[in-house]
């Protein structure tokens, strides 16, 4: 193909008079003269000016919203408002037409719900261009952060024969034919005939495998898809989502919190530094969107200020026990405004409580630690019971404004006996996890890790409010389109 220049680069060009070729899609065509072209390299269009007196009318008619064009011409300083440079068209070719009667994206505002139905075309809107550029930048920043510190990226398996973690409902993976199910003599399914010779599922977490690797490489991380077969249709849940799970040997809970806070600040700063156009656009978008809300439901800070605030302040660290005390004596608890009132130590915190702590009480990100053992997973390191005999584990959850839990982690139980005992209490089958216990048998050491939900991070940084709008093709109950 002829060499094209990306529009993003041309918009920053200072060398006028050069001949350039751009290829992209027509956003608008005004007065038979001004084409706004976008090639996806950035959210800003370039204006191409057609000499309509010397252009064939049949060609002009094909310059419609959505059409793909190749334009060659001179890059000149623009006299019009709103742009610094434009292209004086010498040659224009329609690469692909777009019937204006049928193209679903018209040059007007479409609802996010409508755009979700045409997820394959929404990439061409400013909003989704910005969202997925930010998503890209955040993903790259995650890799760069860990790479620069000598972490090893591990691809833990997606198909797993272990369902022992109990982090949630799982999808079964199988090649067994529903109409011809192999059975054992006792009538149970004969999984020996299945592809892997046993029941297999989609992973809910790479943590256990990540721990194996950490106990050899020291510092590792995963970044891959994870799955939950839960029938929850909320703005914060997906059946398929991407998770980042670092796991570090020789780390305790404080080291773990320090790393998580450092990671979050690094990637947010990276996005601010590398996606300023996009985040400015998204910040204005959010202000517009919130105009439809009552004053008291609007954000106190705009998106950019909220991100900067997050960078400039230490996350508030407190124990679960301290949080319960704050919540118990809080106004919404006293006035019975919480749906779930906080009476006693031991209660699992609901979204309303997390939001109160983050958005009303501390007004900044919060790290809660040392949760009751009863409400946390078997692999978390057990603390000594407190003076009341209450048992806690060295867990930590990071709560973000508007998002709730964005990180969940813990120091892991590295003591074989304690771990086995807890597995027994929680009915986790030790035989199936023998490989996991081997790390505690052969050179065990203190270690810790956490999981960061990538889409929740993208939600936070883009200011979008529905998780379906920050992943290209969302998977939710009854929905696996594209």
- Compute the distance between CA of residue 75 and CA of residue 87 in angstroms, rounded to an integer: 5
The interface region with its own copies, picked from 12-20, 39-47, 107-115, 377-385 by CB under 8 A, is 39-47
Among 45, 47, 160, 283, binds its own copies (CB under 8 A): 160
Kindly state the DSSP code that residue 476 receives in the 8-state scheme.
Answer: B
Q: Note whether 114 binds its own copies by CB under 8 A.
A: no
Cβ proximity to its own copies: between 251 and 378 the closer is 251
- If one asks whether residue 375 binds its own copies (CB under 8 A), the answer comes out as no
Q: How far are the Cα atoms of 130, 132, 282, 470 from residue 127, in angstroms, in the given order?
A: 5, 9, 7, 10
Q: Does 96 bind its own copies (CB under 8 A)?
A: yes
Q: Binders of its own copies among 448-467, rule CB under 8 A?
A: none
In the list 30, 172, 262, 360, the residue contacting its own copies (rule: CB under 8 A) is 172
List the one residue from 82, 111, 178, 288 that touches its own copies (CB under 8 A): 178
Report in angstroms the alpha-carbon separations of 197 from 102, 124, 432: 50, 45, 15
Cβ closest to its own copies, residue 166 vs residue 197: 197
Query: Nearer Cβ to its own copies, position 375 or 430?
Result: 430
Give yes or no for residue 378 binding its own copies (CB under 8 A).
no
Ordered alpha helix ranges (H), 372-428: 416-425
If DSSP codes are grouped into helix, strand and coil, which group holds residue 213? helix
Closest to its own copies by CB, 249 vs 367, is 249
Listed in sequence order, the residues at least 6 apart from 445 whose beta carbon sits closer than 8 Å to its beta carbon are 215, 249, 250, 414
Q: Min. distance of Cβ 310 from its own copies in angstroms?
A: 23
Q: Which two tokens stand for residue 61?
A: 């008619």
Closest CA to 284 of 308, 305, 311: 305
CB of 357 to its own copies, least distance (A): 28
Q: How far is the CB of 65 from its own copies (least distance, A)?
A: 9
**334-342, 363-371, 378-386, 444-452 -> range binding its own copies (CB under 8 A):** 444-452
Indicate whether 472 belongs to the interface with its own copies (CB under 8 A): yes
What is the C-alpha separation between 422 and 255, in angstroms, rounded? 24
Smallest separation (angstroms) from its own copies to the CB of 449 = 14
Q: Which of 31, 111, 175, 180 binds its own copies (CB under 8 A)?
A: 175
The reply to whether 136 sits near its own copies by the rule CB under 8 A is yes
Residues 397/367, Cβ–Cβ less than 8 Å: yes
Binding of residue 103 to its own copies (CB under 8 A): yes
Binding of residue 140 to its own copies (CB under 8 A) = yes
Closer residue to its own copies in complex, CB, 349/419: 419
Q: Output the smallest distance, CB 30 to its own copies, in A.
A: 18
Q: Is 169 in the site for its own copies (CB under 8 A)?
A: yes
> Coil, strand, or helix at residue 290?
helix
Partners of 224 in the β-ladder: 243
Q: Which of residues 253-272 bind its own copies (CB under 8 A)?
A: 255
Distance in Å, CB of 154 to its own copies, minimum: 6
Does residue 152 interact with its own copies by CB under 8 A? yes
- Give the whole-angstrom CA distance, residue 449 versus residue 121: 38
Nearest residue (CB) to its own copies, 168 versus 385: 168
The answer to whether residues 311 and 267 touch, using CB atoms and an 8 Å cutoff, is: no
25 binds its own copies (CB under 8 A): yes
438 binds its own copies (CB under 8 A): yes
Interaction between residue 392 and its own copies (CB under 8 A): no
What sign does the dihedral 319-320-321-326 (CA atoms) show?
positive
CA distances from 139 to 57, 126, 264, 281, 458 (A): 46, 20, 12, 20, 9
Minimum Å distance from CB 74 to its own copies? 20
> CA-CA distance, 369 to 155, in Å (whole number)?
29
- Nearer to its own copies by C-beta: 103 or 338? 103
Q: Which of residues 3-22 bind its own copies (CB under 8 A)?
A: 4, 6, 8
For its own copies (CB under 8 A), the number of binding residues is 107
Q: What are phi and psi of 210, to 5 degrees?
A: -60, -40
Q: Please, which residues have CB within 8 angstroms of residue 52's CB and are 6 or more apart in sequence?
A: 32, 33, 60
> 366 is written with which tokens?
């919060």
Q: Which of 243, 206, 203, 204 is nearest to 223 (CA)?
A: 243
Coil, strand, or helix at residue 71? Answer: strand
Rounded Cα–Cα distance for residues 84 and 315 (Å): 42
Of 108-116, 188-196, 292-300, 368-376, which segment contacts its own copies by CB under 8 A? 188-196
User: Footprint of its own copies on residues 192-251 (CB under 8 A)?
Assistant: 195-198, 200, 202, 209, 212-213, 215-219, 224-225, 227, 229, 231, 239-240, 242, 249-251
C-alpha span between 198 and 33 (Å, rounded):
66
Which of 356, 450 has the CB closer to its own copies?
A: 450
């Amino acid at each position: 193909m002829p060499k094209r220049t990306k529009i993003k680069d041309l918009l920053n060009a200072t060398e006028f008079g050069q001949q350039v070729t751009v290829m992209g899609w027509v956003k608008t065509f005004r007065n038979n003269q001004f084409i706004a072209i976008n090639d996806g390299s950035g959210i800003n269009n370039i204006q191409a000016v057609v000499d309509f007196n010397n252009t064939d009318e049949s060609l002009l008619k094909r310059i419609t919203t959505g059409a793909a064009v190749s334009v060659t011409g001179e890059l000149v300083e623009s006299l019009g408002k709103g742009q610094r440079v434009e292209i004086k068209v010498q040659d224009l070719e329609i690469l692909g037409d777009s019937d204006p009667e049928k193209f679903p994206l018209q040059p007007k505002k479409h609802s996010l719900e409508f755009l979700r139905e045409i997820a394959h075309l929404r990439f061409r809107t400013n909003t989704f261009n910005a969202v997925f550029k930010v998503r890209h930048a955040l993903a790259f920043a995650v890799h760069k952060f860990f790479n620069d510190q000598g972490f090893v990226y591990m691809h833990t398996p997606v198909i797993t024969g272990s369902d022992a973690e109990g982090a949630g409902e799982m999808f079964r993976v199988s090649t067994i034919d529903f109409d011809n199910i192999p059975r054992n003599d006792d009538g149970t399914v004969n999984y020996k005939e299945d592809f892997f010779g046993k029941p297999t599922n989609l992973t809910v977490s790479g943590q256990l495998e990540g721990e194996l690797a950490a106990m050899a490489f020291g510092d590792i991380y995963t970044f891959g898809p994870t799955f939950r077969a839960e029938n929850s249709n909320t703005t914060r849940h997906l059946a398929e989502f991407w998770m980042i799970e670092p796991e570090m040997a020789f780390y305790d809970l404080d080291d773990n919190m320090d790393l998580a806070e450092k990671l979050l600040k690094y990637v947010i700063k990276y996005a601010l530094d590398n996606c300023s156009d996009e985040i400015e656009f998204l910040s204005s978008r959010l202000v517009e969107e919130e105009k439809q809300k009552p004053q008291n439901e609007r954000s106190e800070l705009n998106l950019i200020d909220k991100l900067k605030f997050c960078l400039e302040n230490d996350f508030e660290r407190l124990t679960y026990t301290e949080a319960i005390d704050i919540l118990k004596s809080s106004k919404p608890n006293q006035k019975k405004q919480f749906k779930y009132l906080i009476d006693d130590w031991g209660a699992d915190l609901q979204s309303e409580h997390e939001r109160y702590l983050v958005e009303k009480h501390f007004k900044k990100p919060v790290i809660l630690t040392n949760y009751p053992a009863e409400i946390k997973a078997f692999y978390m390191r057990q603390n000594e019971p407190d003076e009341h005999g209450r048992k806690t584990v060295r867990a930590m959850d990071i709560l973000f404004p508007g998002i709730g839990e964005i990180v969940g982690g813990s120091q892991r139980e590295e003591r074989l006996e304690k771990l086995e005992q807890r597995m027994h209490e929680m009915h986790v089958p030790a035989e199936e996890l023998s490989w996991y216990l081997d790390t505690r048998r052969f050179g065990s050491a203190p270690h810790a890790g956490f999981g960061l939900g990538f889409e929740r991070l993208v939600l936070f940084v883009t200011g979008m409010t529905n998780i379906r709008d920050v992943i290209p093709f969302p998977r939710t109950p009854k929905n696996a389109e594209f």
